[in-house]
């Protein structure tokens, strides 16, 4: 099982008893794109902590408490070799305290160390706090996807960021 340690966070597999908390947090989230499917969340929890079909799901823990989730996607069907993309969601009550910055820093370093010279992340243009986190962690804004179409047909502009490991 993959575990990634930051200064104040631990990214790890979800425990089975954390399913309901993850589902409820995603259902209540204002930043999750598309619909929240209970069975899909259950599979993410069950398969977390290991790469499955080009996806890695991790719990974000801080101070011994579950505070969010992270997922990484890679693979031929989505991205060229050496490239991965991640998403991170911190529970609203835990945002703004530096936990996200620590989690992104730890995850980015781990991904670079494990064969991904390019790590990218996208976020809604309106999500200024996440954009600040990415920039603080050394990500460069590479462009904006206009009228990005999400599940359910909703549209939003998304900012694309990338962090490239120096050779």
What pLDDT was estimated at residue 32?
61
| 102 contacts 60 by C-beta, under 8 angstroms | no
Residue 157, number of CB atoms within 10 A of its CB: 12
Strand partners, 61: 10, 66
Average pLDDT over residues 11-40: 83
Euclidean distance between CA atoms 10 and 106, whole angstroms: 9
Per-residue pLDDT tens digits for 52-108: 999 999 999 999 999 999 999 998 777 788 899 999 999 877 888 899 999 999 999
Residues written for the chain: 167
Helices assigned H by DSSP within 114-153: 128-136
DSSP-based three-state secondary structure for 129: helix
CATH number among 1.10.3720.10, 3.30.750.200, 3.40.630.30, 2.60.40.10, domain 4-118: 3.40.630.30
Q: Provide long-range contacts, Cβ within 8 A and 24+ apart, for 77-82.
A: 78/54, 82/115, 82/116, 82/117, 82/118
Query: Where along the chain do its domains lie?
Result: 4-118
């Amino acid at each position: 099982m993959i575990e990634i340690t930051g200064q104040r966070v631990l990214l790890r597999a979800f425990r089975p008893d954390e399913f309901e908390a993850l589902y409820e947090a995603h259902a209540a989230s204002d930043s999750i794109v598309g619909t929240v499917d209970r069975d899909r969340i259950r599979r993410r929890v069950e398969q977390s902590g290991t790469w499955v079909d080009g996806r890695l799901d991790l719990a974000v823990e801080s101070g011994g408490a579950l505070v969010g989730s992270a997922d990484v996607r890679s693979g031929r069907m989505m991205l060229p070799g050496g490239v991965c993309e991640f998403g991170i969601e911190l529970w609203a009550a835990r945002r703004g305290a530096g936990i996200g910055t620590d989690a992104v820093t730890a995850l980015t370093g781990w991904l670079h160390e494990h064969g991904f010279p390019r790590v990218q992340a996208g976020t809604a243009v309106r999500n200024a706090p996440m954009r600040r986190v990415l920039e603080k962690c050394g990500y460069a804004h590479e462009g904006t996807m206009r009228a990005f179409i999400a599940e359910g047909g909703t549209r939003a502009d998304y900012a694309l960021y990338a962090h490239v490991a120096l050779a």
